[in-house]
A and B are shown apart, each in its own frame.
Chain A
């Protein structure tokens, strides 16, 4: 099976828009290039700017399965590639024994390393299901040994299993890596990838995002919410916030306000929903102060 064809960058943008993911021209071009050049896409940026969401939207647009590999400190190849299902192997041996007859030892052992006892972890799963979208999330959390291993898989798109042979993807998967820059990634990995830095969206685009992702929220409320959030990110309060809200928080807040039946932000509804927007006690106080200044004429 081939990858669905995309003729140019504007088509990518339009298709992503259909799934509710709004991207600018730069990002659309990079995605288009990643698809055509069959190169992994490395996304960096502030948390909550839609790095993971892009992979989900891509899978939806291209109508491909999304395979997700969440990285963490200490992750190793067996958790990314494959493992043998040991309990089922033992059970299988017991079943052979119970069935009686003469059990051929060699044959029994061979039958243990059958594809049905193979637990495909995300990377192998993505290669087997190809074409697929493989999301390697928060790759900066993994150790550098794991990065080296990823590099190998991403340059050959094949995995060898000693007992079974080599699994090669018929079509290379579309690979999206995300990083929060808790540490520098290796140059070798970066060179393999196309790089893109995702910024927070501008006012109009973010209003559009809220309107598409949460259509139940009224236009006026959406605009007001986004104005406040953008103010929090860039205004005088920005430097003092421990964690400025991302787009995901904007959406949460808009939905929370909507569920409370608010049609516009007032101090009371804001105070009750501020937990959707910021996740630190100190930040909540600062947001309340900032809102106080913004809302009192």
Chain B
């Protein structure tokens, strides 16, 4: 009898120990559809960027304008007007990268202005850089266009379901003339429903 009890304890210990294995970690597909929660996620970011970039580079006047030259664009901050803390800079980064890779546009990076300034100062003032090879002040190219926009959302919820609608608007404005050359919009609707039973 004692022996049975002893083995029972050992078995229980083994079962408990086997439960407590470490976390499971895997690599996944970065472009796979993600539906962990109803909030803004990577799939939304990717579909927004893809749609807007396609829209912009296939817009006839833009196709015509970019056929012979690559205009310089400055990207302004995207306003987040939703009810979620969304990193809109990451959306514009993706849009900007895609546009740059299309070979039709060039960009000035306003987020790096301070670092550029410091580097230029170092080159011209520190005395450590050959003046003949130092990048000179006052030779940067000014942007011709500005890309800006906003993101808003409408959320509806009742006891059984939730519905989120996102609208992302991007606009391209000619800085000199003030004329809006292009505007694009991407809408996303997501719904979540309660399941009946869970752990």
**A, B co-complexed:** no
